Structures are given as structure tokens and as C-alpha cells.
Chains A and B, each alone.
Chain A
Amino acid sequence: MIIPHPLLGPRDAQEFTYLGDASLLDRPDPDAATAAEDFHAYAYLRDNPAGQHQELWFHEQGDRSWLVVTRDTTTHEILNAELARDVVLARRAAADKGADA
């Protein structure tokens, strides 16, 4: 497979290490009353879709950035790749905006 790295262009997937579902970006609040259940769901439960899947890849043999790759698990087609850091910061910014409004 070839992963379209947002900074480095197309790179062979062999340069990357796979982690799993990008829901791992959404680490729950450890202080919430439901933290035990939340962390159980976070660490163990997966949508595991047959189709589009957002997932985390680490460019271990490259620039060591974590990417969020959108890939179809039935065709392996890659639809998008972003820096995980950008994704998280954008989400948090959006959430803050929502909170302000």
C-alpha cells in the first residue's frame, strides 16, 4: 500500500507502523463519574467497519509523525491522510468554539 503523507507525499506503507482505530485520539476524561466504563469502551470496543475507517499510522521509518488515514477496509483504497496532531487540535478548537457559543 501507499500512504499519501501530508508532508512527504506518497510513501510505502512499509515505512509505517499501524496502531488502529482513530477513536484512540478521543481519550476519555479520567475524572468523569463514568471513567471506568468510558475507558473500557475507549480501550476495547471498536466499530470495526467494513468500509471507511479512520485509523492511526506512525511514520516510524520516516518523519515520526502520527497520521490519521481514512481507508476503505473492503478495498484498501485510501481517501485521506492528515497529521493526527492537526486533527486533534482542530477538533479541540471546534469543541472550544462550541463551548463558547
Chain B
Amino acid sequence: MRYSALRIAWEALTGHKGWTQAWRDPDPQPAYDYVIIGGGGHGLATAHYLAKVYGKARIAVLEKGWIGGGNVGRNTTIVRSNYLLPGNEPFYEFSLKLWEGLEQDLNYNAMVSQRGIMNLIHSDAQRDAFRRRGNAMILQGSDAELLTTDQVRKEAPFLNFDNARFPIKGALVHRRGGTVRHDAVAWGYARSADQHGVDIIQNCEVTGFRIEEGRIKAVETSRGYIGAGKVGVAVAGNSSRVMAKAGMRLPIESHVLQAFVSEGLKPVLPGVITFGAGHFYVSQSDKGGLVFGGDIDGYNSYAQRGNLPVVEDVAEGGMALMPMLGRARLLRMWGGIMDMSMDGSPFIDRTHIDGLFFNGGWCYGGFKATPASGYAFAHLLATDQPHETAQAYRLDRFLSGHMIDEKGVGAQPNLH
């Protein structure tokens, strides 16, 4: 079913009886040409592009629970293309361009909202580093502006300019950054993939791989044995667990990242603001809640929940930056499991097993990558070649010393 103004009017006047399921709920077939493991944003996007752009058929997405139940539904909804390194920036710029056309591509309003991202600057060294990044963004096709303190004050007069421990000395602004209604991304990709013939199979947990003579043959699942020509794994948060079933150890640790939302408030924030001297970033949702977050808890975890020290740390950052938040109330907090990679950058690559492909290591930044990750993964699955924007995301890059370390903190995942 296509969504259109006419359809909406008709349904409204006839009691909404005509709306059909957004995606089917099929039983698994005995075999598929392409099996995507993971019904999150990346897996669903992969299926969508594989079918729609690369014209492939006989595709299944296997999801152990309900689609969109992992990180695509538990993030702070920010999209941006403000990376420094040549291995990253073209990829994220490609992603942002896909976001910009997403609604038309999917016939689904995921509420892509480019209200801008402001990274605040608090020291000269930080300005130098941000200048390097801003220049890299522009030179690689994205957008960036360097604001003075006065310009920041004009755009965000509510920030703490006069009583700050770390005074605001400017900002790097990325106007095309913004937010997207996260759940709708999963649903939109699922609906489109489904319409292109992809079987989205929920409550189907992969329990093992059938590998013969170095080649993938099938996946074993809680709903039986499913033959597979090629298998793409996109299960961020659980990458190590799933790939261990294929005998692989990954350069990844799982960590918990908490996120927070306040009670609904009348509009306060124009776009996304990040504090440069503490762990705090914030935006305001279309419903009025302040959506904010900070640092990861810092210890390996699969528990999808964090602890008070980070909650307090984030609130401290918030109060240091926006003292008018004192009487706003934190409504809800939740945790997601992050694939923290060893250099803070992801993987989209083949494995040593023929036909088994891996997509993961997105750290806390996987949401913004969803379209490009799906596109590039579909490209790799369809053509056996890396997508031009994702060539650096190799699994063997640490062996050769080609790290993509934006923060420069080295092989310690909890620092990325």
C-alpha cells in the first residue's frame, strides 16, 4: 500500500478500515539467496537496498525478537556527517545524502529534520582540532561553519556564557546535521523491503552457522534450518556473540551507553548541541522531550542498563552548559549495548568464510550510518566488492596498521 494524501483522507473518512499491515509476517522459506541476520536499522536497510537498488530477490531478514528493538530504537536520533578522517567522512556524507532523500525513497516519513549540530569549543587547542575537522568536512563534500562566541550567543543565548568553568569560545556548526525519528527508520525500511519481496522473519534467533569446506551453507535458527547463498551479519551489540558461532574473535567489546529523555517541554533548543568540556549532548524531540546523553558507562556489559555515576555525570554536564535545565525533569533513562570497536570505527567486510559477511563495530554512532551502512553492505553482498565509501572498514586493518581512530585514543574501546 502506498501512502498518499488521498489515501489518508479516504481512510480518515472511512474509519481507517483500509490500512494494511506495514510488513508481512511470513514463515521462513527453506532457503534464500541472501540471509541478513539482524532486523535492526542496518539489517533492514541492507535488505531494502539489496532488493531495490541491486535488484536481488530471495532475501530474508532474521530477527531474534521484534524488528527495531535494538539500538535503532534506543538511540538519541542524531544524524550527521562531521567526521575528520578520510576513511570515514565520505561514508557519513553518503549516509547524510541518503537521509536527505529517505522519505521519498521509502514513502515513509521518518521525520528527517536538519536543524543543525553545534559542537561547542572551549579552548584554543580544541578550536585548532575543530578547524582541522571542519576543513576536512568541507573538503570532502560536507558542510561546516566556525562560529565565534558572539555568534554562538546569538544562536543559543540560553547557554552558560557568564558563569562557566570552561567558557564557550566558539563552535563548529554542521547545518545539515539533525535528528530523525528513530523507530520510523526501522519501520520504513522494513515496509519498503517487504514491499520489494523481502521476508522479514521475527522471533527467529540464529543459533549457529552451517559451514562446509570454508563456505557458508546455511544458518541454524530457533525456527529451523535455513539454507543461504550469502549471509550478512548486522547485529551490532551482539556481534561478538553471533560471530563466535562462526569461530571468529572480533576487535570489538560490548559496552553500555545510557540515554535520557526529559518530560515534554515547550520548544527550547533549535538543534543539537554538544558540550566540548564535558560529556553532554542534547536535542529536543518533535514531542518536546529533551533527548540527551553523554559518555558510555565504561565497562563491558550486555545488560542494557547503566548506573548512577554516568547519569550524574551527564546531568552535571547539562547543568554546567544550560543552567536553566535545573528544574526540567529527567523522565526516562535506558541503556543500549554498543559494539565498541578498537579504533572507534566500524567494519563492513567479508570474512575468511566464503559467503559470510560482517557489518558491525558501530560504537555509539551506528544510527546516523544506517542508510549508508545498509547501502554499502548490500553492495558488498551483491557484488563481492566493497562500496567506494566503505573501503577502509576492513576487519584486517589492525594487522596492517591502518586504524581509523578519530579520537586518537588507541585500542581501548571504552575511550572511543
Contacts and interface: CB of A to CB of B under 8 A. Distances in A.
A66 B254 CA distance: 22
A46 B253 contact: yes
A28 to B, nearest CB: 14
A76 B301 contact: yes
A46 B249 CA distance: 6
Interface string A17-43: 011110000000000000011001101
Contacts of A13: 299, 307, 309
Contacts of A36: 399
A73 B305 CA distance: 11
B158 interface: no
28 contacts: A13-B307, A13-B309, A14-B309, A18-B298, A18-B299, A18-B414, A20-B253, A20-B413, A21-B253, A43-B342, A43-B398, A43-B411, A45-B251, A46-B251, A47-B240, A47-B244, A47-B249, A48-B240, A48-B252, A48-B300, A55-B299, A55-B300, A71-B299, A73-B254, A73-B303, A74-B302, A74-B303, A75-B303
A55 B240 CA distance: 17
Contacts of B413: 20
Interface in B251-267: 251-254
Contacts of B412: 19-20
Contacts of A53: 300
Contacts of A48: 240-241, 250, 252-254, 300
Given A18-B298, A55-B300, A73-B300, A50 B254 contact: yes
A13 B309 CA distance: 9
B338 to A, nearest CB: 12
A20 B254 CA distance: 11
Contacts of A20: 253, 300, 412-414
Interface in A52-84: 53, 55, 71, 73-76
A20 B342 CA distance: 11
Contact of A44 (B299, B300, B309, B342): B342
Contact of A76 (B249, B250, B303): B303
Given A18-B298, A18-B299, A74-B302, A45 B249 contact: yes
Contacts of B253: 20-21, 46, 48
Interface string B389-411: 00000000011000000000001
B386 to A, nearest CB: 20
Interface of A: 1, 13-14, 18-21, 36-37, 40-41, 43-50, 53, 55, 71, 73-76
Most chain A CB atoms below 10 A, which of B238, B300, B398:
B300
Interface residues of B, number: 25
Nearest to A14: B309
A18 to B, nearest CB: 5
A40 B301 contact: no
Contacts of B414: 18, 20
Nearest to A1: B307
A28 B253 CA distance: 20
A44 B414 CA distance: 13
A45 B298 CA distance: 18
B399 A40 contact: yes
Contacts of A50: 238, 240-241, 254, 302
B311 to A, nearest CB: 12
A44 B301 contact: no
Question: 8 tightest A-B contacts by CB?
Answer: A48-B240, A44-B251, A44-B398, A45-B249, A50-B302, A14-B309, A44-B342, A43-B411
Contacts of B307: 1, 13
Contacts of B300: 20-21, 48, 53, 55, 71, 73
Nearest to B398: A44
Contacts of A71: 299-300
B235 to A, nearest CB: 12
A54 to B, nearest CB: 10
Interface string B237-249: 0101100100001
Contacts of B254: 48, 50, 73
Contacts of A1: 299, 307
A47 B254 CA distance: 10
B288 to A, nearest CB: 33
Nearest to A47: B249
Contacts of A46: 240, 249-253
Nearest to B309: A14
B240 A40 contact: no
Most chain B CB atoms below 10 A, which of A14, A19, A41, A46:
A46
